[in-house]
Chains A and B, each alone.
Chain A
Amino acid sequence: MSAAVIEATGLTKTFPMPAGPVTALRNVSFSVSPDEYVAVSGPSGCGKSTLLHLLGSVDTATSGTLLFDGRDISTLPDAERSRIRLTQIGFVFQRFYLLPMLTAWENVELPQGEAGVSKPERRARTAELLDYVGLSQRAQHRPSQLSGGEMQRVAIARALANSPRLLLADEPTGELDQSTGEQIAELLDRVHADGNAIVVVTHDPAIAARAKRQLKMRDGEIVAGAPA
C-alpha cells in the first residue's frame, strides 16, 4: 500500500456554544490511501460532516494533526490551504451548489480557470468531464434547466476538474430519489475505478455498501472500520 493521501491522528473538534462546548469529534484517527473508497455512516449528529470538513480543510481541528500528502495542513496559511483544496481536493455537496448564472460547462470550467489552467486545456478537460458524467448534450444548460441528478453529475465533474487526489462527498444523494441516487453512486464507483481516492458520507446503506471500506461513527467517534 502506498503512502496515505490523508492521515488524521487524534482529531478532536469542539464547538463553543452558549450552553457549553459541543464536542463533535473525539480523538479520531484514520487514514485514506490514494486508491481507497471510504464510506462514512452513522446517526445524525455523530460528526460525519464535521470530519469531512476537517479532511477537506474547510475547517480546522481543535486538536490533533492532519497530514495531507505528508504535510500538516492545519498550520498552513489560508491562501495555501485554498490552493490545496483547489488542486488536490474535490468537494461534492448534498445541495450541489452550482452557480445558477453559469452554464454546466462554465461551472466545470470555473475551478480550472482559478487554478490557472490554459484555455485550450480547460476546453479539452471540460468537454472530457461532461462526457464522462454523460452530460455533453447539456453543456450549455443552466442548473435551473437540469434535474437534481444532472446537477449532481455536473457538481461531480466540477469536483474532478483539477484532477484532485481526494474526492470528498457529503450526502451526495441526500436530495435525490433512489434511482437517481444509484446513478450517482455508479458514477462515484467509476470515479474510484479510475484511480481516485473517495470519502463519501452517507445515510444510505446501499451506497455505503459500494465502498471497499466502511467507517461507522457514533458520538464523534469511529466505532468500526478504522485501521487496525
Chain B
Amino acid sequence: MNSFHFAWRSLFRQPVRAALAIAGVAAIGALLFDMLLLSQGMLISFRDLLDDGGFDIRILATPSTPISGPRMADAAATAAAVEALPEVDAVVPMRIGQARIVGPDSVNLSLIGAVTSRRDAWTVVEGVDLDDLIGNDDPPMVINRNIAEELTLAPGGTVTIRSECTERYSVLPTVDFVVSGIAEFPFDPVTQMTAAVAMPDFDRACGSVMDEADVFLVATRAGEYPEMAVAAIQRLRPDLHAYSNDQLVDRFQQVGFSYFRQISTVLATITLFFAFLLISVLLTVSVNQRFAEIAALRALGFSRRRIAGDLLWESILMVGTGGLLALPLGLVLAIWLDRILKAMPGIPSDLHFFVLYPAAVILHVALLAAAGALAAAYPVFLASKLPMASTLRNEVVG
C-alpha cells in the first residue's frame, strides 16, 4: 500500500471530517478562483472588445477617450493619407453623436456616422449592412436590438431622426432613414440605444458637411505589427494620437483597472491563507489523534519519509478534491457576480469582470498546491519529531 492509497484510507476513515475539509477547500477555492478570474477578466474582455471587428489601432485627437475629446478636422484627407501608409490596410473615420428618433415614442440614441468600408465596427445580425441596401430612396441605417425592440422595428422599417450635433443650438431638420439591418455594437451597455449611418448621411442629419472624425479605426496590414503602424502614423501626423490595442489595454490596466487588480490580489491572498489554516488545523488535529498509531508505525520500521509522504498525500487529497470542486463552483459564482456587476450603468454588455482564461486554472492549481504543501509542513514536522518510545509508553500509562 503506497502513501497515496494509505492517505486515501486515512482520510476517509473519518468521512465527515474528510467531507467537511473538502467542502471547506471547495468553498475557499471557489473564492480564490473567482479572484483570479477577476484579476484579469476585464483586461481580457476589454481586449476582446477592441479586437472585435478587426481594428487594431485607434487614432484620437487627444490622449483622452473619443467622445469627450475634440474632433479631428479634414477627416477624409487624413484617412486617405493614413491608408496610404504601407503598414496600414484600412481606415474608418467615425463620428459619434446624439440624436432623437421623433414620432409617437421618441427615443434618444447614440448615432454613429462611419465611412463605410470592407470592415465595420459593428456586426449585422439581421437584415443587411448599410452598403447592401438597394432600391430605396431613404438612406440606410443599422440599429441595435434595443431600438428594434423599443420601437418594434425590423429591417425595412423607417425612422425619422433629429440629430443633436453638439455645438449647434438651432433645431435641425429631421431626416428619414430606412432600417437596413439590426447590428451588435461591441461597446454598447445593456440598455444603450445605438444606430449607425453612413458618414454623408450623418453630415446631412447634422445639416452640413463637416468632414470631421471623433476617432479613426485603423486595421494593420496582414503581416505588419500594429506597433510599427502606430509609429508610422505618429511620424505622418505627430499632432494626432494613435494607440494600438495593446497600448489601450496597458493604459486601462494602469488607470481604471489597477483597483480590481489590487482588490483581487488582497482577497486571493486572504483566501489562500484561509485554505492554509483550514488544512493545517485539520491535519494537525488528526496527527494529534494518531500519535500512538504513528509511533507504532515508526516502531514497525516505517521511515520518517514514509510518514511524511502519507501526511502530504492526505493534504494533497483534501486540497486536490476540494480544489477541483472549486472550479465549477467558482465558475457558477463568477457568472452570478458578473451579472451583478454588469448591472452598473454604462458598462458595455460584452465587457466581463470575470473571464475564464487557461492561466487562471493553472495558477489556481499551483497556489492551492502550495497552500496544501505548506499546510502539511507543521503536521509533518510533528509526526517526524515524534519520540517513539515515550509516545508508546504514554499511551499505555496514560
Q: Which residues of A contact B (CB under 8 A)?
A: 49-50, 53, 56, 58-59, 78-79, 82-87, 89, 91, 93-95, 97, 99-102, 106, 109-111, 113-115, 158-159, 162, 170-171, 174
B389 within 8 A of A: yes
The 8 A CB mask of B272-309 against A (1 = contact, 0 = none) is 00000000000000000000110011111111111000
The 8 A CB mask of B1-40 against A (1 = contact, 0 = none) is 1100000011011000000000000000000000000000
Known: A49-B393, A59-B388, A101-B10. A95 touches B303 (CB 8 A): no
A91, B295: Cα distance in complex, Å:
12
Contact in complex: B304, A79 (CB < 8 Å): yes
Identify the closest chain B residue to A13 (Cβ): B389
Among A85, A95, A114, the one with the most B-chain Cβ atoms within 10 Å of its Cβ is A114
Q: Which residues of B contact A86 (CB under 8 A)?
A: 300-302
Q: Which residues of A contact B388 (CB under 8 A)?
A: 53, 58-59
The 8 A CB mask of B354-398 against A (1 = contact, 0 = none) is 000000000000000000000000000000000111001101100
Contact in complex: B1, A79 (CB < 8 Å): no
Among B12, B297, B306, B396, the one with the most A-chain Cβ atoms within 10 Å of its Cβ is B396
B307 to chain A, nearest CB (A): 10
Contact in complex: A101, B9 (CB < 8 Å): yes
A84, B305: Cα distance in complex, Å:
15
Q: Which residues of A contact B12 (CB under 8 A)?
A: 101
- Interface size classification for chain B: 20 to 34
Contact in complex: B296, A82 (CB < 8 Å): no
A170, B388: Cα distance in complex, Å:
14
Contact in complex: B301, A111 (CB < 8 Å): yes
Known: A82-B301, A95-B396. A59 touches B9 (CB 8 A): no
A95, B300: Cα distance in complex, Å:
14
A100, B301: Cα distance in complex, Å:
18
Q: Which residues of B contact A89 (CB under 8 A)?
A: 301
A88, B299: Cα distance in complex, Å:
12
Identify the closest chain A residue to B12 (Cβ): A101
A172 to chain B, nearest CB (A): 12
A78, B307: Cα distance in complex, Å:
13
Q: Which residues of A contact B13 (CB under 8 A)?
A: 100-101
A213, B13: Cα distance in complex, Å:
43
B127 to chain A, nearest CB (A): 68
A162, B298: Cα distance in complex, Å:
15
Contact in complex: B9, A109 (CB < 8 Å): no
Q: Which residues of B contact A79 (CB under 8 A)?
A: 303-305
Known: A53-B389, A58-B392. A106 touches B1 (CB 8 A): yes
A97, B391: Cα distance in complex, Å:
12
New A-B pairs, 4, CB < 8 Å, besides A86-B301, A111-B300, A111-B302: A83-B301, A97-B292, A111-B301, A113-B1
Identify the closest chain A residue to B396 (Cβ): A94
Contact in complex: B296, A93 (CB < 8 Å): yes
Q: Which are the 10 A-B pairs with shortest beta-carbon distances?
A: A86-B301, A97-B296, A101-B13, A59-B389, A85-B301, A53-B389, A58-B388, A82-B303, A58-B299, A101-B9
Q: Which residues of B contact A84 (CB under 8 A)?
A: 301
Query: Could you list some 24 contacts between A and B, CB below 8 A?
Result: A49-B389, A49-B392, A49-B396, A53-B393, A58-B298, A58-B388, A78-B303, A79-B305, A82-B301, A82-B303, A84-B301, A86-B301, A86-B302, A87-B301, A95-B292, A95-B396, A97-B296, A100-B13, A101-B10, A102-B9, A109-B1, A111-B302, A114-B301, A170-B392
Identify the closest chain A residue to B307 (Cβ): A82
A97, B306: Cα distance in complex, Å:
18
B151 to chain A, nearest CB (A): 70
Q: Which residues of A contact B292 (CB under 8 A)?
A: 95, 97
Residue among A78, A87, A93, A106 making CB contact with B392, cutoff 8 Å: A93
Contact in complex: B300, A85 (CB < 8 Å): yes
Contact in complex: A97, B293 (CB < 8 Å): yes
Contact in complex: A91, B304 (CB < 8 Å): no
Contact in complex: B302, A82 (CB < 8 Å): yes
Cβ < 8 Å to A, chain B residues 287-344: 292-293, 296-306
Identify the closest chain A residue to B8 (Cβ): A101
